[in-house]
Chains A and B, each alone.
Chain A
Amino acid sequence: MSDTVSPPSLTLSELPKAPEGPWRSSVRQLRRNKGAIVGLVVLVAIAAISIASPLYVSLVTHLNPFNTNLNGSFVLNGQTIQVMQPNTQGLGLGVNPIGPTWDFQHYFLGADNLGRDVFARLLYGGRVSLLIGFTSAILCSLLATIMGMVAGYYGGFIDWIMSRFFDVIWAFPIYLLAISLSVILLTSGLNLGFIHIQAGSLLLPILIIAGVYVPYVGRPIRGLVFSLREREFIQASIGSGASDWHILRREILPNVMPSVIVFFPLMVAFNILTESALSFLSIGVQPPSASWGTVLNDGLDLLYTRPWVALAPGILIVITCGALNVLGDGFRDAFDPKAKLRGSV
Chain B
Amino acid sequence: MLRFVTKRLISAVLVLFSISVLVFLIFFATPGVNPAARIAGRSASPATLKAVEATFGLNRPIPIRYGLMMYHLFIKQDLSSYVNIGDKVIPQITQAAPVTLSLVFGAAVLWMVFGVWAGVIAAKNRGRFIDPFIMFVGIAAVSIPAYWLGEVVQLITQTSLHSSVFHWVPSTGFTPLSQNPLQWAVHLLFPWLTLAVLYAGIYARVLRSEMVNAMNEDYIRTARAKGLSERRILYRHALRCSLIPIVSLFGLDIGALIGGSALLIEVVFGLPGVGMLTYNSLTNLDLPVIMGTVMYGAFFVVLASAVVDILYAVIDPRVRVVS
Contacts and interface: CB of A to CB of B under 8 A. Distances in A.
Asked whether the complex places CB atoms of A and B closer than 8 A, the reply is yes
Interface stretch (A131-139, A182-190, A255-263): A182-190
A194 B288 CA distance: 31
Given A172-B298, A317-B148, A307 B282 contact: no
B18 A168 contact: yes
B143 A173 contact: no
Contacts of B169: none
Contacts of B38: 187
Contacts of B263: 175-176, 179
Contacts of A180: 23, 26-27, 282, 290, 294
Contacts of B298: 171-173
Contact of B259 (A173, A325, A341, A342): A173
Contacts of A192: 31
A188 B32 contact: yes
Contacts of A172: 19, 22, 294, 297-298, 301
Interface stretch (A60-68, A246-254, A273-281): A273-281
Nearest to A193: B31
Contact of A188 (B33, B149, B253): B33
A322 interface: yes
Given A180-B290, A190-B31, A344-B198, A168 B15 contact: yes
Interface of B is mostly: helix
A306 to B, nearest CB: 11
A154 B125 CA distance: 45
Interface stretch (B52-60, B73-81, B153-161, B179-187): B153-161
A314 B151 CA distance: 10
Interface stretch (B61-69, B200-208, B234-242): B200-208
A28 interface: no
Contact of A322 (B143, B206, B213): B143
Contact of A190 (B16, B32, B285): B32
Contact of A343 (B11, B205, B294): B205
Interface stretch (A110-118, A223-231, A296-304): A296-304
A167 B252 CA distance: 13
Contact of B256 (A164, A173, A190, A296): A173
A60 B104 CA distance: 48
Q: Interface size class for chain A?
A: 35 or more
Contacts of A281: 264, 267, 279
A277 B201 contact: no
B144 interface: yes
B172 interface: no
Nearest to B212: A337
A120 interface: no
A343 B148 contact: no
A344 B14 contact: no
A281 B267 CA distance: 9
Given A276-B145, A322-B140, A311 B294 contact: no
Given A273-B145, A322-B139, A183 B32 contact: no
Interface string A317-345: 11111101110010000000010111110
A303 B151 contact: yes
A30 to B, nearest CB: 17
A326 B23 CA distance: 36
Contacts of B213: 338
A343 B290 contact: no
12 contacts: A179-B279, A180-B27, A276-B148, A310-B151, A314-B152, A318-B144, A322-B143, A325-B139, A326-B139, A341-B205, A343-B202, A344-B202
Interface of B: 11, 14-16, 18-19, 22-23, 26-27, 30-34, 38, 139-140, 142-145, 147-149, 151-152, 154-155, 158-159, 198-199, 201-202, 205-206, 209, 213, 245, 249, 253, 256, 259-261, 263-264, 267, 278-279, 282-283, 285, 290, 293-294, 297-298, 301-302, 305
Q: Which 5 A-B pairs have the closest CB atoms?
A: A321-B143, A314-B148, A191-B32, A188-B32, A322-B143
Given A273-B143, A300-B151, 7 more contacts: A179-B282, A180-B26, A269-B143, A310-B148, A321-B144, A338-B213, A341-B209
